[in-house]
Structure 1
């Protein structure tokens, strides 16, 4: 159920900012921006801080790999908005549209490292089944991922399972590819602040 609060629940200053964003980008303001701007002290600022740390903080996973994880989690959740948004960011970060599409459509044959492939399988299981066991983590370690990489990936899984569920609950509008490209360019330049 789409809540009208995303379209009407902002103060004058935020509405002015949205108008400016629309004017400069020539794209609609994405619903995710509207969500983090509504009651920012309750949800927007804390979640933006966590997302920024997980996606742009120190990690041996590259930005492109972390964005691919976000897209993979979104695809596993069947969240169209998040899948398209993070696929666009991952494609721009990798500089290769095809490798991201291949990873999302056929992980076992995709051209990705074994630690990343194994990690994505683990994240897919956790997203689908909401549980992991010692064997799941051992398989990722055996594929060459470090304990820290697993912790980083699990943090990404947390963030994008929350955001994906909110996107679906609020029925985020899915704009055209130009809006996702503009958003990807922005996120790679500025991060999730």
Structure 2
């Protein structure tokens, strides 16, 4: 449950009207981070949604599933249960559960056919999230060795930065993770509609 009652309640007529509508669409209750986005949509929700849509859905070197996997990887490093659940589910819907289990949850080896670029980038982002000051130019060498260029590194870093922001907002406000059904509903909606409010 979100810590601040004013965010749970919503701000303005649009948020108070959309809350129940979104509750129906999400199968009962509005996910906590959606409530955060709706609290002051013109100030925070819409700009963040546009940025998220550009970073996670726009054209680029990485697929939607790969970018979502990067978001889930960073969220796991930051122990943000809400973001892990939603972004890991989207990544799994796109790439398969075995890839997510291996690279986000780290409970298995990457399945055959995963390639070397995705695990290398996920590991780099995990290290970037945990200890950014310790990274040096030498940390880019493993990425270069598997063919990841500057543009691809920048794209992945944008996905990581976006989720770093969201993880901190969600954690600060007490946004709780959802169960498998809630994650699946949110993932399906985000895959269908994207992030732009």
TM range (shorter): over 0.9
Unaligned 5+ segments in structure 1 are none
Q: Contact between 1:27 and 1:179, CA under 8 Å: does it hold in 2? A: no
Q: Distance in 1 between matches of 2:25 and 2:51?
A: 27
Runs (4+) of structure 1 exceeding 3 A deviation are: none
Q: Distance in 2 between matches of 1:24 and 1:119?
A: 34
User: For each residue in 1:108-163, what CA deviation from the matched residue of structure 2 results, as whole angstroms up to 9, or x when unmatched?
Assistant: 83133211111111101110002321011122111211211101001111100000
Shift of 1:171: 0.6
Q: Distance in 1 between matches of 2:98 and 2:117?
A: 20
Unaligned 5+ segments in structure 2 are none
Q: Greater shift after overlay, 8-17 or 35-44?
A: 8-17
Q: Distance in 2 between matches of 1:87 and 1:10?
A: 30
TM-score of the two chains, using structure 2 as the length reference: 0.91
Q: Distance in 2 between matches of 1:119 and 1:37?
A: 32
Length, aligned pairs only: 192
TM-score of the two chains, using structure 1 as the length reference: 0.93
Q: Distance in 2 between matches of 1:24 and 1:32?
A: 15
1:129 equivalent in structure 2:
131
SS, match of residue 104 in structure 2: helix
Q: Contact between 1:6 and 1:31, CA under 8 Å: does it hold in 2? A: no
Aligned-pair Cα RMSD in Å: 1.7
Q: Distance in 2 between matches of 1:7 and 1:25?
A: 15
